[in-house]
Amino acid sequence: MQTVKGTRDLMPEDMRIREYVMDKIKQVFEVYGFQPLDTPALESWEVLSKKEAGGKDVLKEAYDFEDKAGRRIGLRYDLTIPLARLIASNPNLNLPFKRYQAGKIWRYDDVSKGRFREFSQMDIDIIGSDSVLADAEIISCTIDCFKALKFENFYIKLNNRRILSDLADYAGVEKKLDVFRIIDKLEKVGSDEVRKQMEAIVSKESAKKILDFIKIKGSNQEVLKKAGKIIKSKGLEELKEILSYVNSDKVKVDLSLARGLDYYTGPIYEVFADKEIGSVAAGGRYDKLIGLFLNKDVPATGISFGIDRLIEIMKIKTENKTKVFVIAVNDKVREKVLDIVKLLRDKKIETDFDLRSRSLSSQLKYASSMKIPFTVIVGENELAKKSVKLRNMKTGKEELVKIKGLYKKF
């Protein structure tokens, strides 16, 4: 039997890696003062499609259906729309509100390396602050997360939707969101295809102005200076301010960054750490989204970490957390095995034992296959001396250890 396309089973080795990654990220989130939160996987379609908050393209990928009562519902396609609904439903929250959340997401998209239809995200968001200090806080936290995961060659692309909007005005473009969506495809399809798609909805002159602008390169200061000679934009000033707060060579201003979701209104950012896989974390400011549910705007900014993509490019292995496997030589000592197991577990030592009444050799073989580093062999002769044999499974070395002080060996 196979899993549904775009989904997968996660075996213990996969789960240990996943938990390691998520624990590292969570620790950094909490250092920065973010609080845990959770929302349902299921949302009403009214919430998920609220004024096309996420954009037409995302809604096309959303899983939606009728429940048994005939109500149209869907699986969440990100963690931000449910958060906006939650904030609107709790208007008395103390602001600014800093939240983190981990959960599964579903999108009916193409399946490829690092891309699934069921995947996991970890988000942080700051609700209730219109200061770019909040954006700087998100970026700084993100940098520390990647450092905690031992990434070295990662970088963060930074841009601002205000700049793109002012660029569209400069180029005489009315269909701004359509142009943003085309620019967002630049990494995937290349500049020639982007030019072709753009010229299908705007003039060649407008397309040239936009493409020339988003191709501006250089240091962060050079890019902002060159851009400032072409357009006047509050977005440029916001980027300068963010860079003054985030003193890191990991942040690179990239005027071609657009982000596909329609709800972004200000600074936007994406994190890259591998050439074969696209962004592994992305986000930005969305000051209008919560207002769709609350009828008044509430400033907000945040980022999502793609856990599956992160794991795909991390070359890490984890060991079985079980430290000790207690082995019964025969049926006569099995009851004593349970006493020893309890003794070790009471000392918070990760301990397991045989549940199938197997032979000594079979139990040793099992412990070896599970990569458990130590076995405790319980035999009648040893018990007569109130002792057991402790074997190091890597070296094969054995020693006789008193049961009373056994826990001190781990």
Assigned token pair, 207 = 């397309």
DSSP code of residue 37: -
Q: For residues 90 and 131, state if they share a domain.
A: yes
Which of 196, 193, 163 has its CA nearest to residue 180?
Answer: 163
Label residue 200 by pLDDT band (50, 70, 90).
confident
The CB density around residue 338, as the number of other CB atoms within 10 Å, is 12
Can you tell me whether residue 81 is helix, strand or coil? helix
**pLDDT higher than 80, residue 161:** yes
Assigned token pair, 318 = 């984890």
Q: Contact, 122 vs 305, CB < 8 A?
A: yes
Residue 199 has a pLDDT of: 84
Is residue 23 assigned to a domain?
Answer: yes
Label residue 198 by pLDDT band (50, 70, 90).
confident
Give the domain extent around 154: 12-313
Is residue 5 assigned to a domain?
Answer: no
| Arithmetic mean of pLDDT, 21-39 | 97
Query: Where would I find the H helices in 64-190?
Result: 80-89, 132-148, 161-170, 176-183, 186-189
Whole-angstrom Cα distance, residue 194 to residue 184?
Answer: 9
Is residue 206 assigned to a domain?
Answer: yes
| Arithmetic mean of pLDDT, 104-116 | 84
| Arithmetic mean of pLDDT, 61-87 | 95
Tell me: the pLDDT tens digits for 136-154?
999 999 999 999 999 988 9
Percent of the chain exceeding pLDDT 90 equals 73
Residue 5 has a pLDDT of: 92
Is residue 40 assigned to a domain?
Answer: yes
CATH of residue 401's domain is 3.40.50.800
Q: For residues 331 and 305, state if they share a domain.
A: no
Domain boundary among 313, 339, 358: 313
Q: For residues 329 and 307, state if they share a domain.
A: no
b/e string for 169-206 if b means 16 or more Cβ within 10 A? ebbebeeeebbbbbbbebeeeeeeebbebbbeebeeeb
Rounded to 5 degrees, what angle do the CA atoms 75, 80, 83 make?
90
Q: Contact, 284 vs 268, CB < 8 A?
A: yes
Mean pLDDT over the full length of the chain:
92
Whole-angstrom Cα distance, residue 383 to residue 334?
Answer: 12
β-pairing, 97-106 vs 118-127, is antiparallel
Whole-angstrom Cα distance, residue 59 to residue 64?
Answer: 9
Q: For residues 384 and 285, state if they share a domain.
A: no
Domain count, the chain: 2
Residue whose tokens read 């995947």: 119
Residue whose tokens read 């902002």: 224
Position with higher pLDDT, 390 vs 168: 390
Is residue 2 assigned to a domain?
Answer: no
**pLDDT higher than 90, residue 197:** no
The CB density around residue 243, as the number of other CB atoms within 10 Å, is 19
Q: For residues 208 and 300, state if they share a domain.
A: yes
Q: For residues 125 and 63, state if they share a domain.
A: yes
Helix (H) or strand (E) holding 402: strand 398-402
Tell me: the pLDDT tens digits for 94-103?
999 999 999 9
Whole-angstrom Cα distance, residue 350 to residue 325?
Answer: 9
CA 32 → CA 102, 156, 282, distances in Å? 16, 19, 18
Q: For residues 150 and 180, state if they share a domain.
A: yes
| Arithmetic mean of pLDDT, 164-189 | 85
Prior bond of 91 cis (ω within 30°): no
**pLDDT higher than 90, residue 1:** no
Tell me: the pLDDT tens digits for 203-248?
889 888 888 998 999 999 999 999 999 999 999 999 999 999 998 9
**pLDDT higher than 90, residue 23:** yes
**pLDDT higher than 90, residue 42:** yes
Q: Contact, 79 vs 38, CB < 8 A?
A: no
Helix (H) or strand (E) holding 66: strand 64-66
Is residue 242 assigned to a domain?
Answer: yes
Assigned token pair, 221 = 């200061």
Q: For residues 271 and 386, state if they share a domain.
A: no
**pLDDT higher than 80, residue 111:** no
Is residue 7 assigned to a domain?
Answer: no
Tell me: the pLDDT tens digits for 317-355?
677 889 999 999 999 999 999 999 999 999 999 999 999
Domain boundary among 267, 289, 313: 313
**pLDDT higher than 80, residue 287:** yes
Which of 154, 153, 128 has its CA nearest to residue 139?
Answer: 154
Can you tell me whether residue 253 is helix, strand or coil? strand
Whole-angstrom Cα distance, residue 373 to residue 394?
Answer: 7
Q: Which amino acid is at 102?
A: A
Q: Which amino acid is at 305?
A: F
Q: Contact, 361 vs 375, CB < 8 A?
A: no
Q: Which amino acid is at 341?
A: V
**pLDDT higher than 70, residue 361:** yes
Domain boundary among 313, 342, 361: 313
**pLDDT higher than 70, residue 114:** no
| Arithmetic mean of pLDDT, 11-21 | 91
CA 306 → CA 164, 205, 310, 312, 384, distances in Å? 25, 38, 6, 10, 56
